[in-house]
Amino acid sequence: MRLLIIGTGNAFSARRFGCSAIIQGPTGQIMIDCPDSYPMALRQAQEKSGWKIDQLAITDVIVTHLHGDHCNGLESLGFLRWLHHRETGASLPKLHLWKPVADRLWERLAPAMDQSGAAKLSDYFEIHFLNQERESLIGGMKVSCRGTQHPIPTSALKFKADGKVIAWSSDTPFDPSLIDWLAKDADLIIHETSPPPTHTPVELLNSLAPKIRLKMRLMHMNDEFDPASTTIPCLQEGEVISI
């Protein structure tokens, strides 16, 4: 698996894009979360990394929750791919969400996308539910999800392929049981940090066992975050990680 970091900021950041990444799996290119200004974020990550990303070639999108800094780009992505689908017959992107997240998605998108009642969610995306009870096969990777204690339904994720595992906390307060779930078998743990109570302060991540911290990288930083406050490396936009 290869991972391109697209955005690393929190909801209020003026210096970073919202948290997002592209994973190249064995059979697909998967975008994790779809924040504001994602086309510009993709372009800048592409320029920094040399990894060419074509918005029309993204096969799958996983949305962890419906806070805008994780999903505001869905309107743009949906319209772009709907127009491309109409012009060329190309496949719509698959959109994967935990069912409690999916249940309110159209409620959020419809005022901008229902074309006065003529269009529905399935005109833009092929919807698939993530299930806590079983793995989903996405882009050739086995993907599992687990709800976090964020104030709205939010799913953490694990990606497995080629005997390797990438874990993604999404937004969460500090939760040792979630960290146990993320760390089990993981080669890389991408964990959020931002001020509590709905997010995880870095001081609590600093107290974790060294074997967990060594596998951990941080995202979802606010602009005041001091990288010197921790030995856990902060992810950089445009960074490529091969696992």
Nearer to Zn ion, 49 or 172 (CB): 172
Site membership for Zn ion, residue 16 (CB under 5 A): no
CB 232 within 8 A of CB 3: no
Q: Can you read off the two tokens belonging to residue 215?
A: 């596998």
The token pair that represents 182 in the structure block? 């993320």
Q: Which is nearer to Zn ion, 49 or 200 (CB)?
A: 200
Helix (H, G, I), strand (E, B) or coil at 93: coil
CA-to-CA separations, 126 to 87, 97, 186, 219, in angstroms, rounded? 18, 11, 29, 28
By rule CB under 5 A, what string of x and - marks binding of each residue 51-90 to Zn ion?
----------------x-----------------------
Q: Where are the beta strands (DSSP E) in the chain?
A: 2-7, 20-24, 29-32, 60-62, 94-98, 126-130, 136-138, 141-147, 155-161, 164-168, 188-192, 216-219, 240-242
Taking the complex as a whole, the smallest distance from the CB of residue 101 to Zn ion amounts, in Å, to: 11
Alpha-carbon gap, residue 156 to 170, rounded angstroms: 5
Question: What character string, x for contact with Zn ion (CB under 5 A) and - otherwise, covers 166-185?
Answer: -----x--------------
- Judged by CB under 5 A, does residue 36 bind Zn ion? no
- Within 50-175, residue ranges assigned H as helices are 68-71, 74-88, 99-102, 105-113
For the bound state, the minimum distance from the C-beta of residue 18 to Zn ion, rounded and expressed in Å, comes to 10
Candidate ranges 76-84, 103-111, 165-173, 177-185; the one touching Zn ion (CB under 5 A): 165-173
- How near is the Cβ of 149 to Zn ion at its closest, in Å? 11
Question: What does the block give as tokens for 207?
Answer: 């107290």
Please, which residue, 65 or 215, has the CB nearer to Zn ion? 65
What is the nearest approach in angstroms of Zn ion to the Cβ of residue 33?
10
**Close Cβ partners of 134 (under 8 Å, ≥ 6 residues apart):** 144
Strands 136-138 and 141-147 come out as antiparallel
Distance in Å, CB of 60 to Zn ion, minimum: 21
Q: Does 199 bind Zn ion (CB under 5 A)?
A: no
Q: Which is nearer to Zn ion, 41 or 161 (CB)?
A: 41
Smaller CB separation from Zn ion, 38 or 82:
38
User: CB-wise, 76 or 198, nearer to Zn ion?
Assistant: 198
Residues that bind Zn ion (CB under 5 A): 67, 171
